[in-house]
Amino acid sequence: MISMALSEQILALAKQYSGYTAQNLSKMIHAKSLSTQEKEVTEVIIAQMKEAGFDEARIDGLGNVIGRIGNGKKIIVIDGHIDTVDTGNLNNWDKDPFSGEISGGFVYGRGTVDQKSGVAAFITAGRILKETNLLNDVTVYFTGTVMEEDCDGLCWKYLVEEEKIRPDFAIITEPTDCKVYRGHRGRMEIEVSFHGVSSHGSAPERGVNAIYMASKAALAIEQLNERLMFDPFLGKGTVTVTEMVSSSPSLCAVSDFCKIHLDRRLTWGEDKALAVSQIEEIVKEFGAKVEVLNYSEKGFTGTEYGMEKYFPTWKLAEDTPIVQTGIKTYTDLFGTAPVVDKWTFSTNGIMINGVYKIPAIGFGPGNEALAHAPNEKVPVDDLVKASAFYAYFCHII
């Protein structure tokens, strides 16, 4: 039985190290790290892990940072991706997005919410674990994962399939506003290709216009969106056309090719087969081709790796042991029960639990509404809470 004294000790250390955590995060923000370009930030993180006293800190073949504390039989992974999206229009930013400025109780910059703050917090948690003697036969891996923004879950496919790291439990440190999350919708990327017959633009009746076929299908897909399945916890499935590309022999000719790209969000009970069949039914009159896209890119290490862009839905019941441990962790540390909820967007959870069925929860600093937005910032208080949460969870799991 873990005494409340340990929770108080861990929270006190997290508060004591608040400046340390914020500074570590600031250094990560200085290192721009788009997907496949994370090398500089991995070097920053490796140095910080070594400074914090980790038992091991290394980079795997894909570029993921893997830190380790302990050698116990029970394996926990605390995961945070270290790549970010780009800045967009710099005129929309009030501060330099790579300044890592610390002021007014916040750390500012691209990646502070999505999601280097979770990594900074778990490094501090590692330091706390070393100082509080982790004795419960546990090995904790801390993974700073790559290429998530381009293809969520690819990094975890590599960790499980190539590194053979398959934990008993996982914490995903994507932003949750310091709430305990237990799932989110899945997603797919689908492409539909339409082939027409060109003719001179002065006589369109002689041809078959691929743009018209795609447009009719797009309107039917808009109607499909209204009748997709609904889950009381995860919400409704969605589908939307996000891009249309066409070609023709000239701008004076009927289009003989058009393709549309679909963003499909999958709620509980929806899967790849269902989603593809729904689109195939709509476009069968046009003889269109429906494809689930694939991703394959070289990481900064030179390793090329890929997967199909199908990212399964996942959720855990609130009475699942790992969710209950998350609730206890929060309650012991902060004296009140946490809000238990889910993400709107997708995370590495699609692979961790959606594919490999590893029990996982989410707990991370920052508000997900600021992800991919200008003027991204995270409260230093959130860094403190997350650092304490990760450390205490590892003691009581």
Cβ partners under 8 Å of residue 376, min gap 6: 97, 108, 109, 110, 111, 112, 113, 114, 370
Q: Match domain 4-184+313-396 to its CATH number in 3.40.630.10, 3.30.43.10, 3.40.50.970, 3.90.1170.50.
A: 3.40.630.10
Which DSSP symbol is given to 280? H
Q: Closest Cα to residue 106, out of 16, 196, 29?
A: 29
Specify the pLDDT at position 135. Answer: 78
d(CA 192, CA 286): 11
pTM, two decimal places: 0.95
Question: What residues are paired with 341 via a beta bridge?
Answer: 181
d(CA 145, CA 44): 14
* Preceding omega of 115 cis (within 30 degrees of 0): yes
Q: Is 148 a catalytic residue?
A: yes
CATH topology of domain 186-298: Alpha-Beta Plaits (3.30.70)
Q: Which of 38, 60, 79, 83 is catalytic?
A: 83
Specify the pLDDT at position 1. Answer: 46
Specify the pLDDT at position 134. Answer: 83
Specify the pLDDT at position 112. Answer: 98
d(CA 392, CA 39): 31
Cβ partners under 8 Å of residue 327, min gap 6: 180, 337, 338, 340
d(CA 48, CA 124): 9
Residues in the chain where the model's pLDDT stays below 70: 1-4
335: exposed, middle or buried (Cβ count in 10 Å: 0-12, 13-18, 19+): exposed
Residue ranges per structural domain of the chain: 4-184+313-396, 186-298
Q: Closest Cα to residue 347, out of 333, 362, 366, 330?
A: 362
Q: Is 382 a catalytic residue?
A: no
Scan for tokens 């496949």, then name that residue.
Answer: 36
Q: Which of 114, 148, 231, 376 is catalytic?
A: 148
Average pLDDT, the chain: 97
Scan for tokens 């070393």, then name that residue.
Answer: 130
